[in-house]
Amino acid sequence: MAYVTKITVQKKLKDRYNIFLDKGNGEEYAFSVDEGTMIQFGLRKGKELDELDIIEIQYGDDVRKAYNSAINYLSFRMRTKGEVRTHLLQKEFSEQIAQEVILQLEEHNYVDDAEFAEAYVRTQWNTNGKGPDLIRQELFQKGVGPGDADRALSNYPEEAQTEEALKHIEKEIRKNKRESTSQLKQKLEQSLMRKGFPYSIIAAAIQSVEYEKSPDAEMEALVQQAEKAKRRYKDEDDFTYRMKMKQFLYRKGFPLNLIEAYLQEEAEMD
């Protein structure tokens, strides 16, 4: 058995109290608690405690500390249960305490993965224009289960996905005016895949826009790309120069007939 011999306020943390006990060998510091724990367990000078009481008090105080840490973590933005658990484990609370805190947070509706998923989908769709595949992946990374993720993403219809994909396409077309039609299409597909759109949406969106260049525009893009290559290969002999120019422009997606026409015109001008 032990007896509470003294309770003092901590100097730096005024809401925490140091508990001193006498276990038969004189007074010694035992542990600290916050005010709520002290009231909950009725700690006062002269109170008798056994080992189980002490374990229960310390466990309860750890839960309160973890709960307060979680509340502070949640004050910045909505979090999933998985994010809260990770936060508490990083703060070196045990898995058991983290689970206890999450249950308390759920009881007060401070964490709700379904609600979080719906808000996250709206934000990533309306603010960042992300596709559903990428959003689903990010929800999983945050600890949202497949059921909650699927229900939230059901509010992101295919029509809206196509609309967002078209916005991205317009930006890519403006940025890649110097690319060949073939390479532009490839870049459009890759960009939309990185944004998390499914192939069915990608194909439908690309098919609905006019991205193919006219022959004149294609030749203009070819000339712009060729100017870069000319500086690179200018010191080669004629045969090697033509072969390397062909390979470079072909890799850029330009058709062979345009490449041959360009090289023929260039040769005639020399």
Encode pLDDT of 6-59 as tens digits: 999 998 888 899 999 998 889 999 999 988 899 989 999 999 999 999 999 999
* Residue labelled with tokens 């008798």: 48
pLDDT score of 270: 62
pLDDT score of 246: 86
- Report the SS3 class of residue 194: helix
Return the structure tokens found at 107: 């009881």
pLDDT score of 145: 95
CATH fold label, 113-153: Arc Repressor Mutant, subunit A (1.10.10)
Rounded CA separation 68/50 (Å): 27
* 59-69 pLDDT per residue, tens: 999 999 999 99
Q: Which of 127, 141, 135, 169 is nearest to 154 (CA)?
A: 135
Contact 20, 4 (CB under 8 A): yes
Rounded CA separation 219/178 (Å): 10
Please identify every stretch of the chain with a pLDDT value under 70, giving residue numbers as ranges: 213, 268, 270
What DSSP letter does each residue of 8-37 carry, written as one string?
EE-SS-TTEEEEEEESSS-EEEEEEEEHHH
- Asked: is 161-207 a CATH 1.10.10 domain? The reply is yes
CATH number for the 215-269 domain, one of 1.10.3470, 1.10.1740, 1.10.10, 2.60.120? 1.10.10
Domain residue extents for the chain: 2-77+93-107, 113-153, 161-207, 215-269
- Asked: is 2-77+93-107 a CATH 1.10.10.10 domain? The reply is yes
Q: Do the domains at 113-153 and 215-269 have one common CATH topology?
A: yes
